[in-house]
Structure 1
Amino acid sequence: MPTLQNGEKKLKDVRESNIALVINLMRKFGICSRAELSKASGLVQSTITSIIDSLIKAGIVIETGSLVGGRGRRSIGIRLNTEKLIVLGIRVTRSSYTLAIIDIFGELKNLEKHSITKDLEDPSVFERILEDASTFLLKNDQKPVGVGMALPGPYLINEDTSLFLTNQGWKSFTFTKKFESRLHLPVFVEQDSNVGAMGEWWFGNSEIGQGTKVFVSTGDGVGAGIVVDGKIQRGALGAAGEIGHMSINFEGPQCQCGNKGCLELYCSEKAILKAAKCLSKPILDFESLVTEYRAGNSAVTEIVNRAAEMFGIGIANIAYLFNPGVVVVGGSYKKLGDSFLDQVNRTVRRHIYPLFYQNIGLQFSALEHDSCLIGIAAVVFDRLLKKPSFLLDH
């Protein structure tokens, strides 16, 4: 027979689930009424009233004044408090890190960018990030509910370990507990592509409430984040989506990972620049390459088109592996514009079955800010809403 303790736990779990449902609905609605929440959630009015009262008491929800509903009926408008529902985002690349305060709607409130002058695997790099994060919070007088970190490599979530690719191969690092101890906040770490995928799912403009969406991050490397029905697909260890190390040429050049012919050796920003530096008039940075490409420089166009073709082969493989409804391309490739995406599309069309191609939407990210930065808010709140009572107690 179920014990009283089990019954109380079940009731508590139901309330947690209901609170999370209400917060997610308010995130989608913006300003709304209690009656609208009751109708959308299927919860009775008394349950909605109880939940909203507790959220108002915790400062998570605020009232906005009168709303006029159907038949001229008036009700009190409510919305999520974006001064309270904020996170500290830490976006790390191999050359820089960005600190930002981001609210539950993905809006940036404060932002600071720092250069990294040492190898990312140097322990002093993360010591410096931790120091700067502490100073950033004090300077901006912010009290986030959690911290999220987006890192350029697989994060083995069950082992709380991040992997970075070095000249000596993969190296593992563990630092989450140190951040939690210093910042006195829950810290959630994710691979940057997964963060970008969640950012697109929560804040992107494509109308997909369920199904499969893939976000492809481009820059120093190439990675993919896969989200199915709002959940990140991490795989057995947490390394799913490492498409940059998917071989597209078994006889190709050696990669640092130990494989040959990896995708990112042909179509990462680093690979494109490597080819551009060998031109009669060498191009040394990506911004200059974009300028020359848009100006119609034939030599640069040939390099970019070759990269687009290889990237398209990678997207075609993604289409067969995950059969996504939407593939969103983010990162540095956005700067190359629609002509680049058209070339990728043509390659994808040539390499997959027509029915698959007709049912896949390939597009650049439409978000104003970096998906792998604002997506940190999506990752943190998605995790915290598994047990939203934490937000009420925070």
Structure 2
Amino acid sequence: MLATTPSRITASLIQDGPAHRADLARKLSVSRTAVTNAVDLLLDSGLVVTLRRSAEGAVLKDRVCLSPQFGLIGTVIVDFTETIIGIGTLDGRLLASRVLPADPQARGEERLRRAATVVRELIEESGDGGELVHTQLAVNTQADRRTGEVLGGIASASWSGTNPKVLLEEDLGCPVRLENTVRLLALAEQLERPEVSDLVYVQLSYGVAMGLVVDGRILGGSRRGAGELGHTSIDLEGRPCSCAGRGCLMQYVGRSALIADIEAVLGAGTDVPDLFSAVQEGHAGSVELLGTYGRRIGEALVAVCNLLEPTTLVIGGMLSPAGEPFLDAVRRALTDRALPLAVDDLRVENATGSRRSATVLDAGLLCLRQDASVRATVISRSLDTFRTRRFPQVS
């Protein structure tokens, strides 16, 4: 049992985070002595450390953590107006981060190369000597998780000619796991609500995207293309869309459509903040417009609720600051149109986690830690070094 305990301990720390020795023994169904002996070996090798509670030094009740020498993981989240970048340990502790403002029209390649530079800077600034072993990348477009190929067509013009997965792997010299930004933000929303078992997150921005999280895991489809709500046609003969389809939802509730409607009500040159100000002042046309958008979003989500019956629906993006008046319109549309069983107990809430960079970074690190293939690879890499140096029997 002792021969395999180090690998099982490190796997548990990656998946569930720092833990006390007693908790590890219970979780792994081995004796405390076996855990203590294995932890001592890992401590001597520098692959784990203990979080000390006092200046007197470590004791057995301190939590065991993976050290930076076990390996560092990075996360890069490309959203429309910012790029969020961080590095952390494999047990989920964030070590350093930076948020870069971004032009929504900037080329994806440009943003990724800048992000790679920042990742290297953060590793150097941390000064712990850890090596980057894997990176989680989230991009604001449709891309094949396995190959990195961008598949969004005209709608993904800023990523044209760029394979984000391959580019970042070449720049950072480590494997990159790919995810869609909105799907990752859905996980950030769930992290803010640990009591929630399942959650649908809808982001209203230049388009309309959706993420589904169940039991703390993103359900994004086999190639991470699930959730493109904005390209669901609500009128097959309707407005042309950048995806080459017609009547896509984003053409009616996306940013371009919203700005056009706001200007029709408040005048040329007005924008979303002007709508919010006018609503607060009781401007009748603005109140009506906000309600119309809430109703449109709610009606679009009827099918989602009927099919999935989520416990929690979170709305984020450009209309999130509108708060309860907008959410109430969404709720009314769902109540009027959806099946009672699907919405009677549904929570409809404003986004929180996706608006906090620290929570978004935690979600990025968690995506890597949950991936069984990533865990197996980094454990094999680190314990091979461990075995070669001191313990030939460790596996």
What TM-score, normalized by structure 2, do the two folds share? 0.77
Structure 1 residues 84-143: Cα deviation after superposition (integer angstroms, max 9, x where no partner):
78643322234543334467657684323132375536x555445444554555466575
- Is the contact made by 2:21 and 2:64 (CA closer than 8 Å) also made in structure 1? no
SS of 1:188's equivalent in the other structure is strand
For the pair 1:116 / 2:103, whether they are aligned, the reply is yes
> What is the correspondence of 1:342-353 to structure 2 with a 5 Å cutoff?
342-353=328-339
> What fraction of aligned residue pairs are identical, expressed as a percent?
20
Q: Distance in 2 between matches of 1:362 and 1:266?
A: 21
Cα 1:131–1:256 shift into 2, 3 Å: same
> What is the correspondence of 1:1-394 to structure 2 with a 5 Å cutoff?
19-26=10-17, 33-39=20-26, 42-49=29-36, 52-53=39-40, 56=43, 57-65=45-53, 75-80=60-65, 87-101=73-87, 109-116=96-103, 118-120=105-107, 123-131=109-117, 133-135=119-121, 137-138=123-124, 143=130, 144-166=132-154, 173-201=162-190, 203-208=191-196, 210=197, 212-282=198-268, 284-367=270-353, 369-370=356-357, 372-383=360-371, 384-389=374-379, 392=382
SS of 2:290's equivalent in the other structure is helix
Unmatched 5+ stretches in structure 1: 1-7, 67-73
| Alignment length (residue pairs) | 369
Structure 1 residues 228-273: Cα deviation after superposition (integer angstroms, max 9, x where no partner):
3343323243311111111223332111112222122222334322
Q: Distance in 2 between matches of 1:234 and 1:277?
A: 36
Q: Distance in 1 between matches of 2:277 and 2:40?
A: 55
Q: Distance in 1 between matches of 2:95 and 2:313?
A: 25
Cα 1:23–1:290 shift into 2, 3 Å: same
Q: Distance in 2 between matches of 1:107 and 1:168?
A: 31
Tell me which amino acid in the other structure corresponds to 1:380: L
Q: Distance in 2 between matches of 1:62 and 1:262?
A: 53
- Is the contact made by 1:89 and 1:377 (CA closer than 8 Å) also made in structure 2? yes
Cα 1:63–1:125 shift into 2, 3 Å: closer
Q: Distance in 1 between matches of 2:362 and 2:156?
A: 32
Q: Distance in 1 between matches of 2:328 and 2:379?
A: 47
Give 1 or 2: higher strand fraction. Answer: 1
Q: Distance in 1 between matches of 2:280 and 2:28?
A: 49
Tell me which amino acid in the other structure corresponds to 2:12: L
What TM-score, normalized by structure 1, do the two folds share? 0.78
Cα 1:179–1:343 shift into 2, 3 Å: same
- Is the contact made by 1:220 and 1:270 (CA closer than 8 Å) also made in structure 2? yes
Q: Distance in 2 between matches of 1:233 and 1:343?
A: 27
